[in-house]
Amino acid sequence: MILDACRDNPFSRTMKRTVASRAIGQGLAKVEPTSPNVLIAYSAKAGSTAADGDGKNSPFTAALSHHLTKPGLDVRRAFGFVRDEVLKTTGNKQEPFVYGSLGGEDVPLVPAPARPAPAAATAPAAPTLNAQAEARRDYELALQVGNRSALNAFLAQYPDGFYASLAKLQLDKITAEETRVAATEKARLAEQERARLAAEGAQKTQQAKAEADVRAAEQARIAAEKAKQVAQDQAAAAEQKRITAEKAAAEKAATDKAATDKDKAVNMAALDAGPPQADVTKSVQAELRRVGCLSAEADGNWNTAAQRSLTLFNRYAKTKLDTKLASTDALDTIKLKTARVCPVVCEHGYKADGERCTKITCAAGSFLNDDNECEKRRANRPVVRRDRPEARPVPEARQVSESARVVVRTPRAPTGAGLSSTGRPLTGQERAVGCHSYGAIMSGVCP
């Protein structure tokens, strides 16, 4: 078990002791395993912290990549070399510690290469071919790791030869990519500074200097892009030559085997025939990870996820490789791709930025919609609403008080002989028919 977690406490400056007997320490406490055959390696000894370093990896991680990958090296000796390198790198400020006990047998993390039996006197070229096979295997292992430390470790073991030249080309490609990333970041910062000065209304001399910095940074970025492309092309051409040479050597070995002894198996021919299927599967998975089509680890198991990743490679690379089995043809085809093939797939709220996903930040007054785009937030406008009219009271029967009641009385006309019911004097005819009587008036003849 390797534990690289002894970092500084970021809250140590602001934390206050709540109990007088409690102290705020640094680093981890000493913890030893209780089970046999267990080894725990800490990046720093108890009570101390580990340094992050100035590079891509910490000093402890860099030392691990240098020594743990050496074939046949016992893990205890490897951690001893790691300790010496970290002490040298950090100026004796950080000392890794190992706790636990193992038996007397060597325990290498990377098995030692199998040593074939001594070849017959008629085959003096066998040691040379065996050395080439070992260099090829170690080179492919360093290529699968894909970082500067692994390639430097390979060059330390194989400083000369064909595969050493390939490793140097791969290092040039990594250097060109790092230079491109640095130039791109510098151009972005220069553009931000120019925009800031323009927004703040700075002096024209400052704005002119910022414009010049932007142009220089952009030219450096373009030059880095071209240098990266040249390095990638050179590395790809070298890989193509290597594949062609290995195929030619394998065909020649097979032809020699068939001509000399058809019934007897020759170890060298079997060695040149290629690596076992498990190694081929792991190499194909590692290449699929390099071109961005596989997110899982290269474990040598050709499962559904690995088949799906090769299907994605066929779709974006316009190839027709068989996805049911990891083959050397698929390995050679994927190795020809020097750049990323499958696009970066990011979650909602993130966008692809080169080889990684960065969080999307919307400006003030905007929000991230379902399409993963910033959308301007609409202002809340006042809504005019018509108030509901109050219900008019149902007219009730008007109650008029007795005191407010008005009584209109019509004066009764005078009645009597010679007068009508309205008090008008009767004419002679009316008087003749007897309209002065009540009965005549009610008969309808008289008015």
> Is 443 part of a structural domain of the chain?
no
Quick one: what percent of the chain has pLDDT higher than 90?
1
> Is 233 part of a structural domain of the chain?
yes
Tokens representing 238 are: 């070298």
Is the same domain home to 176 and 265?
yes
> Is 231 part of a structural domain of the chain?
yes
Is the same domain home to 38 and 90?
yes
CB–CB of 226/176 below 8 Å?
Answer: no
Tokens representing 358 are: 């960065």
Distance, in Å, from the CA atom of 248 to the CA atom of 127, rounded to the nearest integer, reads 19
Element (H, E) at 366: strand 366-368
* Phi, psi for 262 (deg, rounded to 5): -80, -25
Interval 13-40: pLDDT, tens: 566 555 444 445 566 777 777 777 888 8
Q: What is the DSSP string of 52-68?
A: --SSSS-HHHHHHHHHT
Q: What is the DSSP string of 109-159?
A: SSPPPP-PPPPPTT-TTHHHHHHHHHHHHHHHHHHHH-SHHHHHHHHHH--
Is the same domain home to 171 and 81?
no
> Is 221 part of a structural domain of the chain?
yes
The least confident of 147-156, 274-283, 294-303 is 274-283
- Spell out the alpha helix ranges (H) of 201-303: 204-260, 267-272, 277-290
- Spell out the alpha helix ranges (H) of 146-203: 148-157, 162-200
Tokens representing 249 are: 């050597």
Model pLDDT, residue 47: 77
Across the range 288-293, mean pLDDT stands at 88
C-alpha 60, offset from chain centre = 26
Is the same domain home to 79 and 149?
no
Model pLDDT, residue 351: 83
The two beta strands, 2-3 and 38-42, are parallel
Q: What CATH number is attached to the domain comprising 44?
A: 3.40.50.1460
* DSSP assigned state of 356: E
Is the same domain home to 138 and 241?
yes
> Is 225 part of a structural domain of the chain?
yes
Please identify, among 274, 289, 318, the residue that sits at the C-terminal boundary of a domain.
274
Closest listed residue to residue 119, CA positions, set 276, 258, 271:
271
Model pLDDT, residue 234: 81
Interval 423-444: pLDDT, tens: 677 676 767 666 656 666 666 6
> Structural domain of residue 325, as residue ranges?
298-362
Distance, in Å, from the CA atom of 297 to the CA atom of 394, rounded to the nearest integer, reads 83
Please identify, among 101, 116, 148, the residue that sits at the C-terminal boundary of a domain.
101
Is the same domain home to 234 and 351?
no
> Is 23 part of a structural domain of the chain?
yes
* DSSP assigned state of 419: B
Confidence of residue 314 (pLDDT cuts 50, 70, 90): very high
Interval 82-107: pLDDT, tens: 989 888 888 888 888 888 778 777 88
CB-based contacts of 65: which residues, under 8 Å, 6+ apart? Answer: 57, 145, 147, 149, 150, 153
Is the same domain home to 82 and 31?
yes
Distance, in Å, from the CA atom of 302 to the CA atom of 216, rounded to the nearest integer, reads 49
Confidence of residue 123 (pLDDT cuts 50, 70, 90): very low
> Is 384 part of a structural domain of the chain?
no
Closest listed residue to residue 97, CA positions, set 138, 50, 57, 144:
50
CB-based contacts of 322: which residues, under 8 Å, 6+ apart? Answer: 330
* pLDDT over 70 at 384, yes or no: no
Closest listed residue to residue 149, CA positions, set 263, 16, 71, 56:
56
The two beta strands, 356-359 and 2-3, are unpaired
* pLDDT over 80 at 387, yes or no: no
- One-letter amino acid identity for 155? L
Number of domains in the chain: 3
Closest listed residue to residue 273, CA positions, set 240, 246, 238, 239:
246
Is the same domain home to 342 and 208?
no
Tokens representing 213 are: 């910095």
Model pLDDT, residue 405: 57
Across the range 65-85, mean pLDDT stands at 86
The better pLDDT of the pair 12, 200 is held by 200
Is the same domain home to 269 and 302?
no
* DSSP assigned state of 411: P
Interval 169-226: pLDDT, tens: 888 888 888 888 888 888 888 888 888 888 887 777 887 888 888 888 888 888 888 8
Model pLDDT, residue 117: 54
> Is 369 part of a structural domain of the chain?
no
Average model confidence (pLDDT) for the chain?
A: 76
Closest listed residue to residue 326, CA positions, set 372, 288, 380:
288
Is the same domain home to 306 and 201?
no
Is the same domain home to 260 and 138?
yes
Confidence of residue 381 (pLDDT cuts 50, 70, 90): low
Model pLDDT, residue 423: 67
Confidence of residue 364 (pLDDT cuts 50, 70, 90): confident
* pLDDT over 60 at 316, yes or no: yes
Is the same domain home to 146 and 209?
yes
Interval 232-270: pLDDT, tens: 788 788 778 778 877 787 787 778 777 776 655 444 444
Model pLDDT, residue 269: 42
Model pLDDT, residue 7: 60
Please identify, among 101, 118, 153, the residue that sits at the C-terminal boundary of a domain.
101
Across the range 383-393, mean pLDDT stands at 63
